[in-house]
């Protein structure tokens, strides 16, 4: 009964909460609703082999060229790729590359997927704070993404294609990431090691994990990738829609 009342109140104050695509029709808790799965086929995956698709449902919060190794979380709020990634070798891969910031609202589908056929050999978990990552906070708190708990996930796409990296960033309320290819939850209670070896392969659009609550994914791409012409600041994008393109 309490869950029904809470969901009703949530729908009242968040008019963009849409559960028609949800695989479940009943939820035991709000958390169960947050991490809901979608019905089969609810997110068509763009099949163009030159296209890397969005890994999640999101609002495009920022995008552009990485200026040497500087990105922007909001206008006038730069941050360094090294502070985000914690590894100079990774920074070198994406110098003058492309980045897209994907902000997941609390009402959105919270699972994220492979943007292309890929493999993951290691996850670098970086513990941190749990600042809110809404637009107001991004315009007031410098280097916010570099303060919060996050995971750096390098994607081996293929020998003929340049690299991609996903950085899921946790936020307020529940700072926890669940990656299906790791045994442990990545959360503030996790004690290490920070570099976690793994061997996982994914097809384009296959689910990789989920947030325990709404947050952000920063996508970093080699300079050979271009932002897809359909992507613009402030737009809503769905998982499976074009995000990046190889020329």
* pLDDT band for position 64 (cuts 50, 70, 90): very high
Name the average pLDDT for the chain.
86
> What mean pLDDT comes out for the span 79-104?
94
Give the pLDDT confidence score for residue 166 in this predicted structure: 97
pLDDT tens-digit readout, 106-137: 888 889 999 999 999 999 998 877 767 777 77
**Phi, psi (rounded to 5 degrees) for 187:** -150, 175
* pLDDT band for position 188 (cuts 50, 70, 90): low
pLDDT tens-digit readout, 120-179: 999 999 887 776 777 777 888 888 888 888 899 999 987 778 889 999 998 765 557 889
Among the listed residues 46, 69, 106, 113, the single catalytic one is 113
Residue bearing the bigger pLDDT, 231 or 214: 231
The Cα 193–Cα 191 span in angstroms is: 7
* pLDDT band for position 15 (cuts 50, 70, 90): low
Among the listed residues 57, 69, 213, 228, the single catalytic one is 57
**DSSP for residue 201:** E
With 50 as the cut, is the pLDDT of residue 37 above it? yes
Q: Is 215 a catalytic residue?
A: yes
With 80 as the cut, is the pLDDT of residue 74 above it? yes
Segment (H or E) for 5: helix 2-13
Task: List C-alpha distances in Å: 48 to 117, 141, 245.
Answer: 12, 38, 9
State whether residue 11 is helix, strand or coil. Answer: helix
Instruction: Give the β-pairing of 70-74 and 77-80.
Output: antiparallel
Residues in CB range of 132: below 8 A, 6 or more apart: 171, 172
The tokens of 29 are what? Answer: 């808790």
pTM of the predicted protein model: 0.90
Residue bearing the bigger pLDDT, 138 or 243: 243
**Phi, psi (rounded to 5 degrees) for 56:** -155, 165
Residue bearing the bigger pLDDT, 172 or 23: 23
With 50 as the cut, is the pLDDT of residue 2 above it? no
Count other Cβ atoms within 10 Å, centred on residue 89. Answer: 7
The Cα 145–Cα 129 span in angstroms is: 10
């Amino acid at each position: 009964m309490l869950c029904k009342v809470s969901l009703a109140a949530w729908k009242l104050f968040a008019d963009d909460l849409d559960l028609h695509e949800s695989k479940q029709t009943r939820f035991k808790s709000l958390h169960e609703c947050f991490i809901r799965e979608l019905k089969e086929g609810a997110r068509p995956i763009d099949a163009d082999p030159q296209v890397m698709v969005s890994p999640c449902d999101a609002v495009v919060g920022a995008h552009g060229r990485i200026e040497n190794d500087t990105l922007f979380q909001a206008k006038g709020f730069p941050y360094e790729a090294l502070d985000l990634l914690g590894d100079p070798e990774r920074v070198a891969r994406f110098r003058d590359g492309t980045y897209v910031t994907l902000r997941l609202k609390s009402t959105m589908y919270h699972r994220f997927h492979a943007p292309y056929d890929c493999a993951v050999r290691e996850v670098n978990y970086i513990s941190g704070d749990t600042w809110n990552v809404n637009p107001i906070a991004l315009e007031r708190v410098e280097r916010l993404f570099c303060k919060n708990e996050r995971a750096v996930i390098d994607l081996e796409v293929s020998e003929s294609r340049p690299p991609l990296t996903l950085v899921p960033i946790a936020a307020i309320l529940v700072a926890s990431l669940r990656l299906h290819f790791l045994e442990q939850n990545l959360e503030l209670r996790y004690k290490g090691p920070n570099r976690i070896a793994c061997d996982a392969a994914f097809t384009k659009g296959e689910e990789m994990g989920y947030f325990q609550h709404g947050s952000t994914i920063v996508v970093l791409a080699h300079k050979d990738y271009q932002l897809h012409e359909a992507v613009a600041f402030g737009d809503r994008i769905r998982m499976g829609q074009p995000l990046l393109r190889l020329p």
